[in-house]
Amino acid sequence: MIFSNTGRTLALALLIFPLSLQALTTEAALAAVPQLQATQAWPVTAPLSAPGGLRPCCAFGYNLKAKLGFIPVPLYRVNNVVDTESLGHHAYNDSLLGAARQIAGMSQEKNGILYTQRGGFIDIAHVRDTADMTFYLFSQLYPRLGKAFTLRLDDELAQRQIIFFPFAIPEDAAQAYTLAVWISAHIAFQVAAWHEIAQWYGFRSVPGFSEEISAFSPEDLYSNLLGARLSASLLLSGEGASKGEFNAALSKALPAALRQLGAQPARLTRFQFDMLDGVWWCSKRAVPDKFLVLYRNYFVGNSRLPTSVPGERSPPVLLSLPASVAGLDLDKAGELRLFPSRHMKALPPPAQFYHWADFPTLAAFAHKSDDFTLSMMSKAGKGCTEAK
């Protein structure tokens, strides 16, 4: 069990589905209310190194073709589909070697997309990335809680800085610990939302290889928010004393959460992809063609339902992050700021910086632009049905 004693389960007393201890802990991780709180100030790892980039996964769809420039890559297909029994062991991603191992098929993790009845499509790499970012930020913030300081992340189209503001911390140690966890989850989701915006406006982690295909993919930010919620729940229950402890806990919590969302076997994930072929994605196109993905979700908020899949009758699960904790508005505790860089060619540079409040406007422009392009493609006879 992830939660090993009475103290760790006390905060789970008011849950929606009292089925078993594992079901309780998972439902608590997903529920918008009640807000989980730590029962004590748990031991915390020494400050971690920042996650070393993002895990390489996944364009929406399966059995995807690929091309280099205009040249198809013969006999190559991207599978993408996973199930809850094959996710492997989570490894905090603080090394670029982690991405290399995944590309080479040597990672202890297995990432891809699976379909859930109550959470839609879930991209496992996005879940893991935001879980790791939450853990990283918490390890950095907790020893300096209430003090002003700045963390600098690697550039991602913009110069990324996380600014923490000064504030009075709660006298109660458990409350202070809880506050640090939710501030970390709050900002970790901002980092994820910026990544979607950066991809649309031209960010390329590999020079010459466009990532526009992945920008605002319908499953992305719900998956990131799931990662923030799971990571927060583990930290609040004392699973952040070391990377090893966090990795082991998330390895158990992730498949449990997916089952709670109604995870489906691989064959039914492929079935759902097939039903959406030509509507949400176009199997005739090849990676990295941007409009292999036809349908996107441009909403960047941190209280969200999964992107609704046509024909799904199961009630969706709302995921959200608290706006305030211990009387403090989390927006006043810290934020991600994006400062101009030489890579901002398609994105108008801000007067000073972009931040969370600017994200909806940037996403709305992307939405309007994509709708116009798809409309023009259809009128010109270049829609998915005409693709070769």
Digit-coded pLDDT (tens) for 272-294: 999 999 999 999 999 899 999 99
The identity of residue 106, as a single letter, is M
pLDDT, tens digit, 9 for 90 and up, residues 124-176:
999 999 999 999 999 999 999 999 999 999 999 999 999 999 999 999 999 99
Residue 21 lies in a domain: no
Give how many domains the chain has, as a whole number: 1
Q: Name the residue among 195, 196, 188 with its Cα closest to residue 155.
A: 195
Assign residue 64 a region (left: φ > 0; alpha: ψ between -120 and 50; beta: otherwise): beta
Using DSSP's 3-state secondary structure scheme, residue 67 falls into: strand
Residue 36 lies in a domain: no
Residue 10 lies in a domain: no
Residue 37 lies in a domain: no
Instruction: Give the pLDDT band (50/70/90) at residue 71.
Output: low
CB 200 within 8 A of CB 216: yes
Residue 122 lies in a domain: yes
pLDDT, residue 78, reads 72
Residue in the structure block whose two tokens are 């994820």: 192
DSSP annotation string for 315-354: PPPPEE--SEETTEEGGGTEEEEEE--TT-SSSPPPSS-E
As a whole number of angstroms, the distance between CA 218 and CA 225 comes to: 13
Residue 4 lies in a domain: no
As a whole number of angstroms, the distance between CA 17 and CA 34 comes to: 13
CB 358 within 8 A of CB 339: no
Phi (first) and psi of residue 371, to 5 degrees = -60, -40
CB atoms within 10 A of CB 44: 18
Answer whether residue 369 shows pLDDT above 80.
Answer: yes
CA distances from 113 to 52, 82, 86, 121, 125 (A): 22, 6, 12, 7, 8
Q: Check residues 71 and 318 and name the one with the higher pLDDT.
A: 318
Residue 58 lies in a domain: yes
Residue 17 lies in a domain: no
CB 94 within 8 A of CB 273: no
Q: Check residues 258 and 3 and name the one with the higher pLDDT.
A: 258
Domain of residue 199 covers: 44-386
As a whole number of angstroms, the distance between CA 189 and CA 95 comes to: 21
Assign residue 157 a region (left: φ > 0; alpha: ψ between -120 and 50; beta: otherwise): left
pLDDT, residue 345, reads 84
